[in-house]
Amino acid sequence: MSFQFVHSNRNVANLEKSVAFYKEALDLVETRRKEAEDGSFVLAFLSAQGGGFELELTWLRDWKGDYDLGDNELHLAVSTPDLQAAFAKHKAMDCVCYENTDMGIYFISDPDGYWIEIVPQK
């Protein structure tokens, strides 16, 4: 028996703002969307070019307040072939929230405060 990762979910306060952030920051594109008939939720699925793993963003109509992100120890990680250019782009977007120069990685924060680890491609 084998398994393959399909998607990971993040609940968001403003779906359109989050979709725009992930497009600008990570070049993720929306591949599909599902809206509840009663309007109670909207799911947007984002993917990098080439497909595979998706990020599911969930907007909940009746959710009040911020989401509990814990200590941001649970995070996504993405790799890039040009870490220096990516870092410059994210600095310009003002979304870099943590740098670890010893490890050669950094983190960005999305509009809801979720962290994404940026690592060099191997």
Q: pLDDT per position in the chain (122 positions), as tens?
A: 888 888 999 999 999 999 999 999 999 999 999 999 999 999 999 999 877 899 999 999 999 888 888 777 778 999 999 999 999 999 999 999 999 999 999 999 999 999 999 999 98
With 0-12 / 13-18 / 19 or more C-beta atoms within 10 angstroms meaning exposed / middle / buried, residue 77 is: exposed
User: In the prediction, which pLDDT does 50 show?
Assistant: 77
pLDDT of residue 3: 80
pLDDT at 54: 95
* Residue bearing tokens 């979910």: 9
- How do beta strands 76-80 and 115-120 pair? parallel
CATH number at 7-62+74-120:
3.10.180.10
The CA distances from residue 96 to 73, 93, 110, in Å, are 16, 8, 9
Query: Can you give the pLDDT at residue 2?
Result: 82
Which region, left, alpha or beta, applies to residue 27 given φ > 0 means left and ψ of -120 to 50 means alpha? Answer: left
